[in-house]
Chains A and B, each alone.
Chain A
Amino acid sequence: MRWIAVVLALGAAACGAQPAQVPSTVFTTAHRTVSDAAREFLWIRSTPQQPIPFPHKTHIAKKAECVDCHETVAKGPVAGIPSVKTCMICHSQIATDHALIKQVASYSEKGIEIPWQRVYGFTHEAHVKFNHAPHIRADVSCATCHGDVANQTVAERVVDHNMGFCVNCHKQKNAPNDCLTCHF
């Protein structure tokens, strides 16, 4: 069985560099392709390829706060990948000559969201229900789970969100550790 896993893993790993293709069929309801299923089974996640190399560092150096753009983080379960509308709040005025900003503006003009790729997130099989808002209310800093984004340009997956990581922190802070706190 290990042999099969290796073959599948090779196949899956080879995918990362391939140009994206539109899947012709849906493999299962949870996985669009066999590749998705195989990768999820083997815990392989490709590095997200962002359409525009968004420099977190530059923005934070200019005193922008995380919540300025990830504005729903304190309101609900999802921090939210910002809409191009949020970019244009500042960039309709600031640095409009910059090549990358022109790209952003062109998305905005077309009325299309920038196809940002998600960096963090749980698989369906993990059956994890994560809610940002209570963590923010408990004053957990963004860096605890997302690393030092202030010194990253494009966000990278630097913290491994495995169960041990969550449970350790919950224990330290006397947060509930019941299964149903996170799993449903």
Chain B
Amino acid sequence: MDRRNFIKLTAITGTSVTLASCGNPENQLIRFVPDDDITPGIAEWKPSVCPVCQAGCAVTVRVMDADVDTVRNGQAGVVAMAVAKKLEGQPKDPISQGGLCARGQASIQITYHPDRLTQPMKRTGARGTGEFQPLTWDAAIAELVGKLDALAAAGDQKSLVWLARPRASRRAALASTFLTGFGAPAPVEYEFFNDHVLRSANLISFGREQLPTIDIARSRIVIGFGADLLGTWNSPVAQSAAYGRMRQGQPQVRGKLVQVEPRMSLTGANADEWVPAKPGTEGVLALGLAHVILANKLRPGDSGRSGAAIDGWSGGLQDYAPAQVEKITGVAAKRIERLARELVEFHPAVAVIAGAPLAHTNGLFNALAVNALNGLLGAVEQPGGVFFTPGAPKSAATRVRPDTLTTAKVLLLDDANPLFAMPAAMQVREALSKIPFIASFGSFIDDSSAFADLILPDHSFLESWVDVQPESGSIEAVSTSAGPVMKPLYQTRATADVLIEIAGKLKTPVTLPWKTAEDVSKSAASAGAATPAAPSAISHQPSAIKYAEPAFAGDAAQFPFHFLPYASQAFGDGSTAHLPWLQELPDPITSAMWSSWVELNPQTAERLNIAQGDLVDVTSPAGVVRAPAMIFPGIAPDVVAMPVGQGHEQFTRYASKRGVNPIAILAPQVVAEANTLAWAATRVRIARAGDADGSLIMFAGEMRERPQEGETR
């Protein structure tokens, strides 16, 4: 065909298509009469609370008109509605201070997700297949009420288990009141990256079973032990704002940040000094620093209660001389001496511990050691030190026990995903398969709710009353509650309303002090207004703790590497992996996205003949996962790390079967005296399993080590 004929043919084809498809599509669009009077094109800003993590940032939501697809009287059409368009931090909130992290920004996609459940669902396929069919709310509630009545009739109320993701809102109080009224055990909370160890340690050291608020802004030197202050731990927005003020907010002073961790996190990358101590020895390093301060009488030696918890404190920590500490931690004695002197010189100084150091079998020791160092540095409840947010309600919830799932006859899942977030070795799949009845309140079908018999989808946070009483992040008490910013898009119901309805419909009704979800959220104001409580007295004086070597699953000869799963910047513990904005968010350190990867030191990779992107088998005593290699200079040669968050069996079109889940291969090690999973206590071996298959997707090029300033290579 020559060019002329081609053009002619194109024109003729184009014309016929034009003729065939003409007509104004708007003629066909049925537009329903809207319920509200909306001024098109004019935005309103309404308050809400970010639901993604426990930090509890207050947000402002830009609300504007939009056409929403809907069905009325069996007819499909659109209706103009005022809907949420954009989230920002709330400037008046002491936590968010007008900022909002990437996960918070992306949380708007929860409301508009194409795979969001729009009505109650009943399981039709086998458990775990995710096959459901819709049913009415009346039928769904009647079914759940029937199951609960049957438990009550059998006198088996104790077999009702409420498993929730921890959240600092009044929903916890509602669940707890409901369960107590029914005669069931207190709600059980589970999150993979929990802070149980730190709370327990703070109770022993300071009499506060609470997460600390670090006054980074007024500090002159912050030493972090594994705490990803700027990335994923605790209240990253508040901590990042405070970090900004520490660096630039004080005239003539630029605060110093030292980060102790074997894998460089976002915080490590921002630090002036990165100290890779051997995993599980962070507490020893803290006591090494304390030893130098005590031995040289750099500060008054009394660190009160926090020091008393450490064996050998009063004797000046004779076992923790720098030379000895160097042997254990791998940090040079000279460096320990210098850091200890800097901590005293740059007053106020504060130490922070979180994350992996607490997830070793000796995690409690590590936490108590850092607490004692803070006591010695005079950093407790002092400007630039550690504070405890007053008024944070104490949760009635309990920690998950090995028999939590095996004894349940009716399991209610509130935003918890135990199948994804617990190691395969804990046999969650088997336990879930055996539970006679499971109901979920989730908005999506995830790994665990695919096992549910009934799903009663909650409103999104933008459609419901929300409230939060953050445990940490501000020196002042904070309590936020806000109404819905938009009308519900679908046939969902606020879980608080559903629980209240169920409570009233039981054969033996449970009396609740609230009538609607609104009442529950509004009761936050009075709950959060508590005056600061005095530190609780020690009920029994725990015996002073000593360093015990961290125990690892897998012997060092067969499994030569420490395995470090870490919270992903985008997904946290994996609960936001279904949001496409976060899937496409490049990891700030490696720039990888839409994938899983295994971080390897360049020396290790060279020794094992592994190149960037090659498939690698990571084998632990409990299992194996295969993922592409990421050659990463910011990791110790004897450590391999993997981000947590991918590898969902089921979690919408964006996250299902994408990447692998490092939690699956963890051995069920437990932190001594804290009854929680020691997720950093597994060793692995690495083997090249194949050539790069393109599953490692990176935003930018490879990373290279750059020589430090003034250093020549």
User: Residues of A contacting B25 with CB < 8 Å?
Assistant: 20, 22-23, 32-33
- Name the interface residues of B29-83: CB closer than 8 Å to any CB of A: 29-34, 39-42, 72-73, 77
| A180 proximity list for chain B (CB < 8 A) | none
Q: Choose from B10, B26, B33 the contact partner of A111 (Cβ within 8 Å).
A: B33
Known: A76-B40, A80-B40, A115-B27. A8 touches B14 (CB 8 A): yes
Given A76-B40, A85-B33: A15 touches B22 (CB 8 Å cut-off): yes
Q: How far is the CA of A34 from the CA of B14 in the complex (A)?
A: 8
- A contact patch SS: loop
Number of A positions contacting B (CB below 8 A): 39
Contacts of B73 in A (CB 8 A): 111
Q: Taking the complex as formed, is B17 at the interface, i.e. its CB lies under 8 A from any CB of chain A? A: yes
Provide the bound-state CA to CA distance between A24 and B42, in Å.
34
- The reply to whether B7 and A4 contact each other, CB–CB distance below 8 Å, is yes
Contact with A along B1-37 (1 / 0, CB 8 A): 0000001001110111111011111111111111000
Asked whether, in the complex, the Cβ of B32 is within 8 Å of the Cβ of A112, the reply is: yes
Most buried by A among B10, B11, B18, B28: B18
- B42 in contact with A76 (CB, 8 Å): yes
Interface string of B620-650 (1 = CB under 8 A from A): 0000000000000000000000000000000
CB-based contact A112/B33 at 8 Å: yes
Contact B22 A12 (CB under 8 A): yes
With contacts A7-B12, A8-B15, A75-B42 known, is A115 near B22, CB below 8 A? no
Q: Which residues of A contact B41 (CB under 8 A)?
A: 76-78, 131
Q: Are B40 and A72 in contact (CB under 8 A)?
A: yes
Chain B 312-351 interface 0/1 with A at a Cβ cutoff of 8 Å (1 = within): 0000000000000000000000000000000000000000
Contact A8–B18 (Cβ < 8 Å): yes
Q: How far is the CB of A57 from chain B (nearest CB, A)?
A: 25
Give residues of chain A (34-78) contacting chain B, Cβ–Cβ below 8 Å. 34-35, 38, 46, 72, 75-78
Cβ contact of A113, chosen from B12, B14, B32, cutoff 8 A:
B32
Enumerate chain A residues within 8 angstroms of B17, measured Cβ to Cβ: 34
Nearest B residue (CB) for A15: B22
A11 in the interface, Cβ–Cβ < 8 Å? yes
Interface size bracket, B side: 20 to 34
For residue A117, CB closer than 8 A to chain B, the reply is yes
Instruction: Select from chain A the residue with minimum beta-carbon distance to B22.
Output: A15
User: How far does the alpha carbon of A22 sit from the alpha carbon of B24 in the complex, in Å?
Assistant: 8
- The smallest beta-carbon distance between A91 and chain B, in angstroms, is 14
Distance (whole angstroms) from the CB of A5 to the closest CB of chain B:
9
Q: Report the Cα distance A117→B28, complex, angstroms.
A: 12
Query: CA–CA, A112 to B78, complex, Å?
Result: 10
User: Residue A34 contacts which of B21, B26, B40, B72 (CB distance < 8 angstroms)?
Assistant: B21
Contact of A3 among B11, B24, B40, B77 (CB under 8 A): B11
Tell me which residues across on chain A come within 8 A of B39, comparing CB atoms: 72, 75-76, 80
Residues of chain B lying within 8 A (CB to CB) of residue A84: 33
Query: How distant is the Cα of A34 from the Cα of B12 in the complex, in angstroms?
Result: 13
Could you tell me if B27 and A35 are in contact, using CB atoms closer than 8 angstroms?
no
CB–CB B22/A4 < 8 A: no
**A4, B21: Cβ atoms under 8 Å?**
no
* B26 neighbours in A (Cβ, 8 Å): 115, 117
A159-173 contact mask (Cβ, 8 Å, vs B): 1 or 0:
000000000000000
Query: Which residue of A23, A78, A80, A113 contacts B21 across the interface (Cβ within 8 Å)?
Result: A23
Least CB distance, B570 to chain A, in whole angstroms: 27
Q: Contacts A32-B25, A33-B21, A33-B22 known; A112 to B15 CB distance under 8 Å?
A: no
User: Please, which residues of chain A bring their CB within 8 A of the CB of B24?
Assistant: 20, 46, 117
Closest CB in chain A relative to B92 CB, distance in Å: 26
Task: Kindly state whether residue A108 has any CB partner on chain B within 8 Å.
Answer: yes
Q: Does A28 contact B (CB under 8 A)?
A: no
Closest residue of chain B to A10, judged by CB? B15
- Give Cα distance in the complex from A142 to B73, angstroms: 39
Q: How far is the CA of A27 from the CA of B24 in the complex (A)?
A: 14
A75 to B44, CA, bound (A): 13
Q: A177 → chain B, closest Cβ, in Å? A: 23
A32 CA to B77 CA, complexed, in Å: 17
Q: Decide yes or no whether A143 CB sits under 8 A from chain B.
A: no
User: What's the Cα separation between A115 and B17 when bound, in Å?
Assistant: 26
* B18 lies within 8 A of A112 (CB): no
A111 to B21 alpha-carbon distance, docked (Å): 30
The answer, among A7, A22, A85, for a CB contact under 8 Å with B15, is A7
Q: How far is the CB of B355 from chain A (nearest CB, A)?
A: 44
Of all A-B residue pairs in the complex, the 4 with the closest CB atoms, nearest first, are: A15-B22, A20-B23, A77-B41, A11-B15
Beyond the given A24-B21, A38-B18, please list 14 additional residue pairs across the A-B interface where CB-CB is below 8 A: A4-B7, A10-B15, A11-B18, A14-B22, A15-B22, A15-B23, A18-B23, A19-B23, A33-B23, A35-B18, A80-B39, A112-B30, A112-B32, A115-B29
